[in-house]
């Protein structure tokens, strides 16, 4: 088996989850880590036993022998990284959302296509084992025709300061969280079944001093089939990450819940360490989530992208999917302003 050499571009929150996912993937090695901060780069490399770290973006991109670059950078850095990698014809995977808006996403997609190299969109939700099983049930005809998908992605707010800056990220809670729900809805309804128009509401209900973006939002997707996707997004929900899906069909329903239905419940009188992503407390009644990277889909997506890079296959999530999500998000923000249904422009 050929070993896939990986460069991790980034040393923050999502890069940590990618490394957790990669820890259980055979046939790869992360050989270099890039960060804009020398301290963060060296600490990340030491923590994950990566032999080399760098703060030079060109050096990271030009390094010989890299089979796959993983873009785990802040949103404002995605386009530059993707276009530069494409100009070098390098295989790449980018975290969600693909870009801050559809224009940036289109430039990334066009560059990646022109390069002829692999491009993968790292949307964990559709690699989560429970979500994959739900799709298998749908494909087997278990719930008939999918009519309505309701997804909720919420927590008490971003972990890093740059997330609160809408100029750097492209938006607030809807931009940050709805990309998961949109892709889940597309996955359950079927990607051939296009989202044709959307309706959105958003407001800043709690964090008015921290961000100009919305901290709560609702997004409704209307599919060509007439089916609906209902997305609930919040940066003000206490108690840790709330991640749920409901898929209602003509002959049945499916429910997924990886964060509020954990297999462990505990009560501790003092701090007991890490509990779950975005947990507000680490004592009292808590619901720890074992194998978090596995449950969310990080392990499955990393294995998939490593195998695609090694075998020369096209991933099942590409920059085209990321571009579609950005188109839907842009339409959502137009609807939020106009308070009307808005057609999605692809």
Domains in the chain with CATH codes:
4-124+298-318 (3.40.50.720), 126-291+327-343 (3.30.360.10)
Greatest CA separation found in the chain? 57
Closest among 149, 150, 174, 167 to 234, alpha carbons compared: 174
Angle at 177 between CA 271 and CA 264, to 5 degrees: 35
Closest among 248, 255, 178, 246 to 218, alpha carbons compared: 178
Kindly state the average pLDDT of the residues 9-35: 96
Percent of the chain that is helix, strand, coil (3-state, to 5): 40, 25, 40
Written as six digits, the tokens of 262 are 């954990």
Residues 155-196: tens digit of each pLDDT = 999 988 889 999 999 999 999 999 999 999 999 999 999 999
Give me the residues paired with residue 222 across strands. Answer: 197, 228
Tell me if 294 sits within 8 A of 126, measured CB to CB: no
Residue 80: pLDDT band (50, 70, 90) is very high
Question: 94: left (phi > 0), else alpha (psi -120 to 50), else beta?
Answer: beta
DSSP states of 83-150: HHHHHTT--EEEESSS-SSHHHHHHHHHHHHHHTS-EEEE-GGGGSHHHHHHHHHHHTTTT-SEEEEE
pLDDT given at position 83: 98
Residue 277: pLDDT band (50, 70, 90) is confident
pLDDT given at position 308: 98
Helix H or strand E segment including 313? none
By DSSP bridging, strand 4-9 and strand 28-34 are parallel
- State how far the alpha carbon of 294 is from the alpha carbons of 10, 15, 241, 243, 298, in Å: 21, 15, 15, 14, 6
Percent of the chain with pLDDT over 70: 100
DSSP states of 204-249: -SS-TTT-SS-SEEEEEEEETTS-EEEEEEES---SS-EEEEEEEE
Kindly state the average pLDDT of the residues 241-254: 97
- Is 165 strand, coil or helix? coil
Question: Distance (Å, rounded) from C-alpha 146 to C-alpha 139?
Answer: 10
């Amino acid at each position: 088996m050929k070993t896939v050499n990986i460069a991790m571009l980034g040393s923050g929150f999502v890069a940590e989850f990618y490394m957790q996912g990669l820890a259980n993937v055979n046939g790869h090695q992360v050989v270099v880590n890039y960060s804009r901060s020398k301290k963060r780069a060296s600490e990340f490399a030491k923590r994950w036993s990566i032999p080399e770290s760098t703060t030079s973006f060109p050096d990271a991109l030009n390094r010989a022998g890299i089979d796959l670059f993983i873009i785990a950078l802040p949103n404002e850095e995605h386009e530059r990284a993707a276009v530069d990698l494409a100009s070098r014809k390098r295989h790449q995977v980018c975290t969600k959302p693909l870009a801050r808006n559809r224009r940036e996403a289109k430039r990334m997609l066009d560059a990646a296509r022109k390069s002829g190299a692999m491009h993968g969109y790292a949307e964990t939700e559709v690699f989560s084992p429970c979500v994959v099983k739900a799709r298998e049930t749908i494909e087997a005809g278990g719930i008939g025709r999918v009519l309505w998908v309701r997804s909720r992605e919420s927590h008490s707010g971003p972990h890093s300061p740059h997330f609160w800056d809408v100029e750097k990220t492209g938006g607030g809670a809807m931009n940050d969280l709805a990309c998961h729900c949109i892709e889940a809805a597309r996955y359950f309804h079927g990607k051939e079944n296009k989202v044709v128009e959307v309706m959105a509401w958003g407001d800043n209900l709690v964090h008015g001093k921290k961000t100009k973006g919305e901290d709560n939002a609702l997004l409704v997707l209307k599919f060509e089939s007439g089916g609906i996707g209902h997305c609930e997004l919040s940066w003000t929900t206490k108690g840790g990450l709330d991640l749920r899906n409901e898929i209602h069909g003509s002959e049945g329903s499916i429910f997924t819940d990886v964060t509020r239905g954990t297999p462990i419940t505990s009560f501790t009188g003092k701090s007991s360490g890490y509990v779950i992503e975005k947990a507000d407390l680490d004592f009292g009644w808590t619901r720890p989530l074992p194998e978090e990277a596995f449950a969310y889909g990080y392990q499955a997506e990393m294995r998939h992208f490593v195998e695609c890079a090694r075998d020369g296959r096209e991933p099942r999530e590409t920059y085209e999917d990321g571009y579609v999500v950005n188109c839907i998000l842009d339409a959502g923000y137009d609807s939020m302003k106009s308070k009307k249904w808005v057609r999605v422009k692809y």
